[in-house]
Amino acid sequence: MEAVLDVVGEIPAGRAMTYGGVAEVVGQVLGRGGPRQVGQVLSRAGSGVPWWRVVNAAGAPPRHHHASAIERLRADGCPLVADGTRVDLRAAVHRPV
C-alpha cells in the first residue's frame, strides 16, 4: 500500500499515470500487484496523495469522481483531449526514473 501511495505522491502537477503504470513501477519494487490493486489502495487510502493524476488506460479518471478529477487536472495544467473529458496520455504521461 505504501509503495502505491509513494509512486502516486511523486506524480508532478501537469502529468498523469495510468493505474497500470503505477502497478508496473510498484511491481518492479515489490514484485506483485496490478491496476485493480492500485485502484483499491487509492479508494481506501489515497486522499493524501494526488489521486486525480491516476487514470485508466484511456486517460479517464474514475467515473464516480470524474468531475472533481477533471477540475483538478485542469488546475494542474494537465493536457486534456479536445473534449476535455480525459487526459491526453501522449502529452501527459509521467514515467518515473
Q: What do you get for the CA distance between the two ends of the chain, in Å? A: 20
For the stretch 19-56, pLDDT in tens is 999 999 998 666 677 999 999 999 999 999 999 999 99
Which residues, 6 or more positions from 29, have their beta carbon under 8 angstroms from its beta carbon? Answer: 3
Q: What is the pTM of this model?
A: 0.94
At 29 the pLDDT is 62
Q: Decide: 86 and 4 in contact? Cβ < 8 Å.
A: no
- Judged against a pLDDT cut of 80, whether residue 17 lies above it is answered with yes
- Options 1.10.10.10, 3.20.20.70, 2.60.120.260, 2.30.30.100; CATH for 2-92 is 1.10.10.10
User: What percentage of the chain has pLDDT greater than the value 90?
Assistant: 89
From CA 58, how far away is CA 66, in angstroms rounded? 13
- Judged against a pLDDT cut of 80, whether residue 93 lies above it is answered with yes
H/E segment holding residue 29: helix 19-30
Cα 46 off chain centre by: 11
**Amino acid, single-letter form, for residue 9:** G
- Judged against a pLDDT cut of 80, whether residue 97 lies above it is answered with no
For cell 488506460, name the residue.
57
Residues in the chain: 97
At 27 the pLDDT is 87
